[in-house]
Amino acid sequence: MTDAKTRIDETVKENDVVLYMKGTKEMPQCGFSSRVAGVLNFMGVAYADVNVLADEDIRQGIKDYSDWPTIPQLYVKGEFVGGCDIITEMTLSGELDTLLEQNGVSFDKAAAEKIREANA
C-alpha cells in the first residue's frame, strides 16, 4: 500500500490537475468518469488521467488516500476537489471556474458558460 500511496502522492503533486477515473480521458469506462472527463475535456483543461482499472493497488489506494469511497476523483494543485456529483455542482455554479482561476489553471471560460446555459 505504501508504494501505491507514494505513487498517488507524486502524481497528485507533479500535475496541476489529475483525474483518477475508470478508463481514460479518451475512453472513459463508466458514466461518472465520463461525465467529469467530458466537462474537463470540453472546458479545455489540461489534466493527467489515471485509469484505476489498470492497477488494483491504485484503485483501492486512491480511496484510502482521499478518504473518499468512490471514483472518479479530481485533484487540483495537490488538493482533493471531489467526485462526479461535486464536480457537476461546481461546474454548474461556477465554483469550478473560480477554483481553476485561483490555481492558475487555464480553461475555456466560454465553454464553461455553454455548459451552464445548456443545463439552465
Calpha distance 15→54 (Å, rounded): 19
Angle, CA of 86, 92 and 95, to the nearest 5°? 70
Which residues on adjacent β-strands are paired with residue 49? 19
Largest CA distance in the chain: 44
Residues in binding site for [2Fe-2S] cluster: 30
Q: Which residues contact 57 (CB under 8 A, 6 or more apart)?
A: 1, 3, 4
Residues in binding site: 30
